[in-house]
Amino acid sequence: MHQKRSVAVLTGGALSAVALGGLLAAAAPQAAAAAACSANVYQRTFYKNTAFSGSAVRTDCDDVISQSWSGSPATGVPSDNFGVRWSVTRDFGSGGPFTFTASATDGVRVYLDGVRRIDLWTGTGDTARSKGVNLTVPSGRHTLRVDYVNWSGAAKVAFTYTPRTSAAYDSTKPLAPTGVRTAYDTRTRRTTVSWSANKEMDLAGYSLHRRPVGSGTWTTVATTAARSYTDPLVNPDDRTPYSYEVRARDKAGNTSSGSVDTIVRPLPVVTSLTGTYDRATGKVALTWPLNTEPHFDHYTVLSNDKVDGSYRWVPLGTTRGSTWTAGPVAADGETRHYRVLVTNDGGTTTYNPDWLDATAANELWLGIPDGIAPARAPELSLGSCTGGIRATATDDTPSPIRDFAGFEIERREAGTDTRSVVLHKAYDPRLDPATVTVCDPLPADGRTYEYRARTYDAAGNYSPYSEIRASTAG
């Protein structure tokens, strides 16, 4: 049994290969067991007839169909009138134009997904003849099958399938690479990008591209036959996030679309910052999503405070958690500003500009409720008006520094505890001093009424009351 090379043989349930002096010897079981062949390797079965009927004598694996047997090709197989079948299912990637070439003595047939593509099925004795066909293989997984029979004489058979790589025939783009992974080293400030092998049979290589997040311009980083590359870019500030994508190109010069973009952020980012104010304690509770990136180290929390006459970002402290309690803060109705920075394990920290940025995701503008009442009580005077008592409230605070929005005047009958609001009204801002007047209609019954006034602000805080003024209706 003469053979050109050793092949894997399934013997007694185990896969083994024995080669000595160009001879391959293996004991064949009564019924051949199926061989588990590697990816893209043919499963080969031997039959002791030319009809491929009954149980196979032997099943093994063959990576290339190129045989020349003189005599029996395997134990249990006759020298003449035998058949051999090869079959493989593989992924052709994007597919495209291929050439199938078969050469054999006697009969050979080639099938693609069960459709016969080559048919040389006549006895030739010891003289081989060949045939080639050009065809287009669709993308994805397809099954190749080669049937060979030897009726008599020499047994020679060969088959190849190869992509046509000339640009004159091939305009099919390769599939976009998949499985793109990135690893950022905070010490070297470099990103390593790796990806899965492309399934194209005519692959020439890959190209790696990057762009700053938000930009539409790609820069070619490298052209390589490998499946990983370390970007030599050393970003001086180490903060700009980049999108990376990988493209495949074939031997005809066709280039795939880009892989799914993968964003590399040299720094983890705080994607949102929220906060609440507790009126009882005056404290501000800040919350943000906890980062889980491997190069995250800690957060720094800051507030924008007035220092030596100007506002600055003042660090409040650091934490590895995602909450912080600041304060206490006076309930003064002002807006407080907070910011959370991230530091990676290489010691680089988020940009911290001096100014406020209302669009920054890591910055919070928190309105503090106004709990400060107007400081001064207004002046109150009483007089008479048609049908009642006229009450006038006045405040002479200059308009630029007024801390109230309007006046309220109350009245009660002397000697009682029940008060009524006779006026709740905003003042006319054009008048100076600020003043309001109301004519309180009362019957002329000789009763005495007491009045008092106060101011209020937009948050509903009230000033102290004025002195009580009394007047008799009648």
| 29 and 152 part of one domain | yes
CA 195, CA 182: separation in Å to the nearest integer?
A: 9
| 151 and 16 part of one domain | yes
Q: Is residue 401 domain-resident?
A: yes
Lowest mean pLDDT among 25-39, 229-243, 279-293: 25-39
Structure tokens, 234: 């050393």
Last-in-domain residue among 339, 367, 395: 367
3-state secondary structure at position 211: strand
| 209 and 348 part of one domain | no
| 120 and 247 part of one domain | no
**How sure is the predictor about 33, in pLDDT bands with cuts at 50, 70 and 90?**
low
Q: Is residue 1 domain-resident?
A: no
CA 470, CA 283: separation in Å to the nearest integer?
A: 44
Q: Does a cis peptide bond (omega within 30 degrees of 0) precede residue 328?
A: yes
pLDDT at 23 over 70: no
Q: Is residue 171 domain-resident?
A: no
Percent of the chain with pLDDT over 90: 82
CB-neighbour burial class of residue 53 (10 A; exposed 0-12, middle 13-18, buried 19+): exposed
Residues paired with 213 in a beta bridge: none
Domain total in the chain: 4
| 49 and 150 part of one domain | yes
Average model confidence (pLDDT) for the chain? Answer: 91
At 290-323, the pLDDT tens digits run 999 989 999 999 999 999 999 999 999 999 999 9
| 299 and 259 part of one domain | no
| 157 and 82 part of one domain | yes
The terminus-to-terminus CA distance of the chain in angstroms comes to 139
Q: Is residue 78 domain-resident?
A: yes
Instruction: Say what the alpha-carbon torsion angle 323, 325, 331, 332 is, to the nearest 10 degrees.
Output: -80
Phi, psi of 78 (to 5 degrees): -70, 165
Q: Which range has the top average pLDDT, 138-142, 369-373, 401-405?
A: 138-142
Q: Is residue 174 domain-resident?
A: no
Closest by CA position to 170, among listed 259, 94, 90? 94
pLDDT the model gives residue 34: 63
CA 365, CA 385: separation in Å to the nearest integer?
A: 50
pLDDT the model gives residue 30: 39
pLDDT the model gives residue 258: 97
DSSP string covering 212-253: ETT----EEEEEESSSEEEE----TTS---EEEEEEEEETTS
| 61 and 142 part of one domain | yes
Domain that holds residue 401: 379-472
At 90-134, the pLDDT tens digits run 999 999 999 999 999 999 999 999 999 999 999 998 899 999 999
**How sure is the predictor about 362, in pLDDT bands with cuts at 50, 70 and 90?**
very high
Q: Is residue 91 domain-resident?
A: yes
pTM: 0.64
Residues paired with 469 in a beta bridge: 451
The DSSP letter of residue 95 is: -
Question: What is the amino acid identity at position 138?
Answer: P
| 432 and 453 part of one domain | yes
The average pLDDT across 407-411 equals 98
| 426 and 309 part of one domain | no
**How sure is the predictor about 235, in pLDDT bands with cuts at 50, 70 and 90?**
confident
| 353 and 398 part of one domain | no
pLDDT the model gives residue 281: 94
Positive or negative: CA dihedral 166, 168, 169, 175: positive
pLDDT the model gives residue 125: 85
Strands 310-319 and 323-326, sheet pairing: unpaired
| CATH code (residue 413) | 2.60.40.10
| 41 and 96 part of one domain | yes
Percent of the chain with pLDDT over 70: 93
